[in-house]
Structure 1
């Protein structure tokens, strides 16, 4: 055999031998490789791509640009009084379409810089962002950003806000078609004219007026950048209501917008560096919300939004607001038209008609708020939010940034009676328990001073005084000690149970002076619960809501028993003394319109006269009136009200607030009624026992507590039978008829405290 033949034989033998070597150890791999070859994988990939492209082509052919979304033509909301008569109609979109040519080009570009820098170059969609949104929707991660201006406009005008794959695919197709059929200017104009900017403003023209009081054509670049930044979170970024965090975030986004404009050569660096953040003006409401109407509508909307969240129709208040803004709601309020008119009339007659800012500058700083509640139903039958909704945007009836002062004292007594509390000497606390009423007397707990020694109003010393008399004269030193006797944790718990928002408030003796914040709405609820014999009353602004697509059910305003009837009725009985022989007698007891009506109530005047209150009630009606010192110039800090309205010195709770209360209550009360009380204590009933010792020497009163107690400025004491358990026994002689320390001729200022300095127990409050 020649060499060539041998070589061919070896080659033939090699080919024949090869299968034997493969079969010896890799038979499985051979099968997988035959199944998944690179050619098959590549073919499958291109097949899927072709299938996807084909499906998209079908969608593109099938889906047309629809008519404008019906939600773009929204209904109004209708608000009614309790009798069914119309109060207001709102909800017509505050929008005025403007041509893009009327919007300065630099302002137009602020929106592009904020939302979609590639707007003028792209095809109307962001494929990466859309794909991410689809995947996140499928995986349940929720909505994600990344949409172009075209896509956002399509979503706003042609589609719904639902987060589904179907909606996202439609958005993609319509955006592509719209970008092909319409100009970029058309799309941008639609976007800035349909977007919501907050403050009820839809579209750039309404937004320019709402935030800067100018037309869109007069907007500056700085202002345009704020409006563009606002679209990301209209309520959170509204400067007038934004939190500190919200203000920081919107300023960061404002800077982001302008920096993007520099990056795109739409704004020079020198111009950018000279720009300052343009703080928007305060909100100015739409026409038709003048007077008290705007306050009532806002309060009803807040209650509606809160309930939509509570029942799961909305995830948060922002989303609930969007639902309310869609319109279609008929909201019936508990507001009684006659009572509402009488409350407004009373405020005008007893307060606003006497304020003359041209004569006295302080008169411009006085704000009034009031809420009237039916204690049997919990309905808010009247509300006074301020001089005019279009002039003073903040609702004084619901604001809770002012101290309720001594209107808090009845809650301390309620806690004492409800918990059968005792004094430091082990004596039960009742209306007849005697305390040491010396001004600035250190508060004692288990024989140790706690670092709090509050002065009484005008630093008056009362020495031995019963709880009833201390309530009548609003003696700070007595109730500061009583709070510690009861336990401040328990006092704050009872306050929360009665209806006060005590979350975040420290349970310290200083709270006995009412140093936390509270609103007239809150205090009306607290006193309504007392009037309702201890069954919780949560004031309800809204009576009912109707909507064609959803049911909104409100909780029952009357709740469970939160304190015992005896405790509630005892406080009511004691509070009649404030009217008949206390700080409210001049305005209420002797009012010729009273006609024998039984009344319970409490005055309050806060430190440095920044607020003054009267919260009072009859068996049928509870009303809380507050006066607040607020500088009429931005940023509207709290200020004193000394000599406002022509008073000689301090604006007391027994003055304007009690006068407003009496004029209103006696004007609408109807038939004279009496309290049905289950108690043997207090001014409303004749006591069955003599005063008992408690943290001061026992003394025998000169006269039993009756429905007409003697009109004395301070009680008369007899020689004590025992000494109080304090480091220094008080003088036992009768206090003078005049204060031991005359009030200063100049109003006190913040920080003029004679009480011990202690960060946990701030002193110096001169509340009554």
Structure 2
């Protein structure tokens, strides 16, 4: 046997011994294990199926498939002609009868070449949107993929597009957020980047983008925000316009909230810092730059008089409706501003004329700015609504849109004062609330009307004075509404619970609601439009009315916009009708008697409430007949430069600051029973063509409350506040037509207050830390010598 044969023999012997040892130890040889794995499926089978080669092969195949699909898409998708939104169009606005209000004119756009835009201003847009613009191929695959994913998952609009992609979207496509549109955008952007120079693309981008204020393109934006041509823009101004493109509505300095102003300044800094990073701006020059605040908006042509206010209110509602359907605010505004809409308003031209005449005759013609500085601060806003349809049939936004850009009809920065008191009563009735001693709150329920009396049972101390610090002693809810007694309704708010009052206010359509005690006196901000909705809901027997100036808006390429102003029952009919009954007492015997007396007596049936806010900066009358609800607001707003007036705290007023109306029109202190009531009555008589026989159809067992006991006087009560009245008043079951409060009823059940009085009259003075009527921002609260809110 040779050496090789001997070696193989030894190896065979070693293998047999190893196999024997493995069997004795319970371990199979490697060959046996491989055979076992080959016989069974299990995990080994799965591993053989998902091998690296197969996985990589599948991925490679998918990549080839995607590339093939993209190539096919590239070949099949051409560069289209400019889209409709890139073409100049106008919107047409009509009255309810089809007659023309105005045309907004063609889209506010003037195309300018880059030679008319300073180079450093050009760079602000690149720094803001796409720093790699001059190097990329026109697309951002990562950003586009993110956009497609967010669209598929319903996460909405997301950033990430290049300047080329945004230009393609603006000029060739549309603002729709769909996967198809995004894929087309990608392909067309690649083709455009190959066919056009970077300068051409940048010029197209800055000329087609929407900057807000109705301005399309950089030239229109330069005029709208700084009153100059594009070629005169500084880097600071250019950086603001570039920052503005991210959110034109939110970042418009004239209307931006403090939070939005902070955001736009942060983005402004981001733009300039990016320019330094790209060596487009010297760091030393950058450090000395300051934010250049834009000018106030300039009204567009064709909006003189009331037309601008009507158009703006309609536009706001169209945008809100488009947003309700899923658009972002910027996209909705872009769709509207691109034009092509026919907008029909609910405004009745005859009633609109009657409203204008009433405001002129009762207010504007009595103002003399040469005689009285305060007359320059007078602003009026009026909204009139049909409660059966929710249609805004007339609106007064100010003396002239070209003189005062902001609409006084829709602004909500002034307090509605005592026009809020009916909401408290409605909440009391809706929630079957009781006084502190358990007496149900009704029109005849008796309260303590002492001025400055601390509220019982409230979560926070509060002791508001009455107008002129007048004491009323024991007084019914009805008469307290008639004479707008603060102490009674502050106590009623605590009796009902401020959370419940807030809920009722929200149900009726109010927005700026808190649960602070001062809310009972109307300390929140509200607009005439908003308050018209509240009172229209009461007039509509508790069914929600959201005032709508828009009848319809049609566009040949879009779905018709048609609001639904009437909603569900938000308070019971008996609640709404009972409040209406009580408010008739205000017109018959209270602070609103101006609208039902003199030449207006017997001309119509009416209900309403006056209101005067703290420091006399606003005065209101909110009233209604069976056919029509009208809210008149009168506001003190310092003119340009302040007009030499002072804010309530004594500091010199600046442009637009709230100032007192005292002395305006030669009337002394301004109340809701003055100018606002006279405007309301004159308009209502004119709008009803001299009067109406319509009557309220009320489902209620409440009416005017009883006359207070003889011992109650208008002078401060001299007796100990814990002493009970010697002759407790009675309470009649009121009728649907409230009688005069001058004559107490002779029959009906009685309500005898307990010895402590229905509100638990306090024996201690108001706490030193008690809440007072709210002041303007920055004032010292709680001045006891300041006249109280009506």
Specify if TM > 0.5.
yes
Unmatched runs of 5 consecutive residues or more in structure 2: 16-28, 39-43, 641-653, 713-720, 744-752, 766-775
Q: Equivalent residue for 1:736?
A: none
**Aligned counterpart in structure 2 of residue 611 of structure 1, from 610, 618, 631:** 618
Q: Distance in 2 between matches of 1:136 and 1:466?
A: 61
Q: Equivalent residue for 2:385?
A: 373
Shift of the 51–317 alpha-carbon distance from structure 1 to 2, 3 Å rule, reads closer
Q: Distance in 2 between matches of 1:658 and 1:218?
A: 51
Shift of the 37–396 alpha-carbon distance from structure 1 to 2, 3 Å rule, reads closer
Q: Distance in 2 between matches of 1:691 and 1:426?
A: 25
Q: Distance in 2 between matches of 1:692 and 1:303?
A: 54
Q: Distance in 2 between matches of 1:297 and 1:94?
A: 16
Q: Distance in 2 between matches of 1:376 and 1:143?
A: 39
**Aligned counterpart in structure 2 of residue 644 of structure 1, from 661, 664, 667:** 664
Unmatched runs of 5 consecutive residues or more in structure 1: 712-719, 731-746, 756-762
Q: How does 1:38-117 map to 2 (within 5 A)?
A: 59-73=73-87, 75-90=89-104, 92-117=106-131
Normalised to the residue count of structure 2, the TM-score between the two structures is 0.80
Q: Equivalent residue for 2:715?
A: none
- The range that moved more, 94-103 or 151-160, is 151-160
Q: Distance in 2 between matches of 1:34 and 1:414?
A: 77
Q: Equivalent residue for 2:525?
A: 517
Q: Distance in 2 between matches of 1:416 and 1:139?
A: 46
Q: Distance in 2 between matches of 1:678 and 1:138?
A: 53
**Aligned counterpart in structure 2 of residue 438 of structure 1, from 434, 447, 450:** 450
Q: Distance in 2 between matches of 1:640 and 1:610?
A: 4
Q: Equivalent residue for 2:725?
A: 697
Q: Equivalent residue for 2:209?
A: 195
Normalised to the residue count of structure 1, the TM-score between the two structures is 0.83
**Aligned counterpart in structure 2 of residue 661 of structure 1, from 680, 693, 706:** 680
Shift of the 31–501 alpha-carbon distance from structure 1 to 2, 3 Å rule, reads closer
**Aligned counterpart in structure 1 of residue 476 of structure 2, from 448, 455, 466:** 466
1:528 counterpart SS class: helix
2:93 counterpart SS class: strand
Q: Distance in 2 between matches of 1:35 and 1:428?
A: 81
What do the CA deviations read for 1:673-694 (whole angstroms, capped 9, x no partner)? Answer: 23344456545xx979999999
**Aligned counterpart in structure 1 of residue 133 of structure 2, from 119, 134, 137:** 119
Residue 214 of structure 1: how far off its partner (Å):
1.0
1:335 has 2:347 as partner: yes
Q: Distance in 2 between matches of 1:450 and 1:155?
A: 56
Residue 400 of structure 1: how far off its partner (Å):
2.0
Shift of the 169–273 alpha-carbon distance from structure 1 to 2, 3 Å rule, reads same
Whether contact under 8 Å (2:91, 2:105) holds in the other structure is yes
Q: Equivalent residue for 1:354?
A: 366
Q: Equivalent residue for 2:782?
A: 753
Shift of the 764–512 alpha-carbon distance from structure 1 to 2, 3 Å rule, reads farther
Alpha-carbon RMSD across the aligned residues, in angstroms, is: 4.1
**Aligned counterpart in structure 2 of residue 568 of structure 1, from 572, 576, 591:** 576
Q: Distance in 1 between matches of 2:388 and 2:503?
A: 24
Residue 554 of structure 1: how far off its partner (Å):
2.7
1:588 has 2:595 as partner: yes
What do the CA deviations read for 1:289-330 (whole angstroms, capped 9, x no partner)? Answer: 2222222222222223333343xx324434433343344433
Q: How does 1:196-235 map to 2 (within 5 A)?
A: 196-235=210-249
What do the CA deviations read for 1:224-265 (whole angstroms, capped 9, x no partner)? Answer: 011111112222222222233322222121111111212222
Shift of the 271–440 alpha-carbon distance from structure 1 to 2, 3 Å rule, reads same
1:185 has 2:206 as partner: no
- The range that moved more, 285-294 or 337-346, is 285-294
Q: Distance in 2 between matches of 1:26 and 1:492?
A: 78
Residue 659 of structure 1: how far off its partner (Å):
1.1
Shift of the 388–172 alpha-carbon distance from structure 1 to 2, 3 Å rule, reads same
1:543 counterpart SS class: strand
Residue 538 of structure 1: how far off its partner (Å):
2.7
**Aligned counterpart in structure 2 of residue 554 of structure 1, from 563, 578, 596:** 563
1:592 counterpart SS class: helix
Whether contact under 8 Å (2:512, 2:526) holds in the other structure is no
Q: How does 1:374-453 map to 2 (within 5 A)?
A: 374-445=386-457, 451-453=461-463
Aligned residues: 717
Q: Equivalent residue for 1:767?
A: 789
Shift of the 144–432 alpha-carbon distance from structure 1 to 2, 3 Å rule, reads closer
1:494 has 2:532 as partner: no
Whether contact under 8 Å (1:697, 1:723) holds in the other structure is no
Whether contact under 8 Å (1:225, 1:258) holds in the other structure is yes
